[in-house]
Amino acid sequence: MTKPDWHKSTYSNGGSNCVEVREHEFGADVRDTQDRDGATLSLGASEWVAFLGGIDGL
Q: What is the pLDDT along the chain (58 residues), one digit of tens a residue?
A: 566 799 987 767 766 778 899 999 999 999 998 899 999 999 999 999 998 888 766 6
Calpha distance 58→52 (Å, rounded): 10
**How many domains are contained in the chain?**
1
Q: Hey, which residues does 22 pair with through a beta bridge?
A: 29
Query: Is 2 part of a structural domain of the chain?
Result: no
What is residue 52's predicted lDDT score, i.e. its pLDDT? 87
- The verdict on residue 35 lying in a domain is yes
Residue 55 has a pLDDT of 77
Note the pLDDT of residue 9: 74
Domain extent at residue 35? 7-56
Q: What is the pLDDT of residue 14?
A: 67
CA gap 56, 33 in Å, rounded? 21
The conformation of residue 56, written as its DSSP 8-state character, comes to H
**Is residue 1 domain-resident?**
no
- pTM metric for this prediction: 0.77
In a domain, 28, yes or no: yes
